[in-house]
């Protein structure tokens, strides 16, 4: 069984969604998958695909601003996890990742927040390398991830 | 929209605990300092609007979720099923 279910609380909500959408189920898609779902507890149709950015973009880094750190009540940096929202609205093969506004999670307190990086160095629509690699094959990211190409 | 004229170094108060100061003016660019409580999010509007739009567009359709989860997407309860 590959089930993993947690509730994450976004006290400030998620930009673009109505304010009342604060609690989301965090669902691991498969064991060892880089992909997760973030599904509203209020409306299951409100669902994001998330990715662990460090798997596809090993050089990805940013400084977590102190105010954001405080807002997720992060005491110990070891408790932080980072995910990025995948935009697959143009199809999974054309999927992009929002590196400009990552989700930071305090795994100890289950508090999360979408932060906005203002350094100009991160792309709002960074093509997902696995999606590109999947072109020509069956576009199943779960499969692609097992035979991850070298970057 | 309320419109006020301010000079460099002058401030504006909004409510009890938000303060905005004109730090510097150079040609067509103004540097603004903002003091606000921690629960007030402050963003450059164009970036924030772009992120709102991107989030809404990124909301995942069920068929896409199925295709990436190898057909084991969440059921009605949000639990995974094979």
Domain boundaries, chain B: 7-36, 43-82
Architecture per CATH, A5-142:
Roll (2.30)
Note whether A108 contacts B: Cβ–Cβ < 8 A. no
Min Cα separation B12/chain A (Å): 23
Query: Which of B56, B61, B69 is the closest to A16 by Cβ?
Result: B56
Say if residue B51's pLDDT is above 90: yes
Query: Which of A28, A67, A88 is the closest to B60 by Cβ?
Result: A88
Contacts with A140 from chain B: Cβ below 8 Å: 67-68, 70
Are the beta carbons of A15 and B52 separated by less than 8 Å? yes
CB A83 within 8 A of CB A36: yes
- DSSP E strand stretches across chain A: 5-9, 23-28, 35-40, 47-51, 80-87, 96-97, 103-106, 111-114, 126-127
d(CA A65, CA A70): 9
CB A53 within 8 A of CB A82: yes
Q: At CB < 8 Å, which residues of chain B contact A?
A: 38-39, 41, 43-44, 47-48, 50-62, 64-65, 67-70, 72, 74, 76, 78-80
pLDDT tens, position by position, for chain A (151 residues)? 334 458 999 999 999 999 999 999 999 887 778 899 999 999 999 999 999 999 999 999 999 998 899 999 999 999 999 999 999 998 888 999 999 999 999 999 999 999 999 877 899 999 998 665 554 433 343 433 334 444 4
Domain ranges of chain A: 5-142
Q: Which class for B47: exposed (0-12), middle (13-18), buried (19 or more C-beta within 10 A)?
A: middle
Contacts with B57 from chain A: Cβ below 8 Å: 87, 89
Are the beta carbons of A44 and B78 separated by less than 8 Å? yes
Note whether A17 contacts B: Cβ–Cβ < 8 A. yes
Nearest to A117 by CA among B40, B38, B48, B39: B48
Kindly report the pTM of this predicted structure: 0.79
More reliable by pLDDT, A4 or B6:
B6
Query: Which of B38, B61, B80 is the closest to A70 by Cβ?
Result: B38
Query: Which of B39, B41, B55 is the closest to A16 by Cβ?
Result: B55
ipTM of this model?
0.82
Note whether A35 contacts B: Cβ–Cβ < 8 A. yes
């Amino acid at each position: 069984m590959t089930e993993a279910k947690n509730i994450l609380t976004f006290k400030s909500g998620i930009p673009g969604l109505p304010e009342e959408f604060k609690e989301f189920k965090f669902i691991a898609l498969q064991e060892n998958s880089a992909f997760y779902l973030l599904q509203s507890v209020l409306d299951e149709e409100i669902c994001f695909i998330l990715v662990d950015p460090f798997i596809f973009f090993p050089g990805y880094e940013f400084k977590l601003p102190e105010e954001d750190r405080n807002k997720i009540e992060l005491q110990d940096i070891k408790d932080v996890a980072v995910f990025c929202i995948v935009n697959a609205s143009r199809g999974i093969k054309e999927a992009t990742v929002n590196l400009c506004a990552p989700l930071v999670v305090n795994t100890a307190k289950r508090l999360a927040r979408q932060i906005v990086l203002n350094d100009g160095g991160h792309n709002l629509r960074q093509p997902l390398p696995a999606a590109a690699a999947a072109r020509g094959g069956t576009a199943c990211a779960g499969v692609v991830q097992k035979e991850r190409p070298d970057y | 929209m309320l419109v006020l004229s301010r000079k460099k170094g002058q401030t504006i108060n909004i409510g009890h605990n938000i303060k905005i100061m004109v730090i510097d003016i150079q040609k067509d660019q103004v540097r603004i300092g903002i003091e606000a409580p921690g629960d007030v999010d402050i963003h450059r509007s164009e970036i924030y609007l772009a992120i709102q739009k991107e989030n809404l567009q990124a909301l995942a359709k069920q068929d896409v979720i199925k295709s990436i989860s190898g057909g084991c997407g969440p059921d009605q309860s949000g639990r995974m099923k094979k």
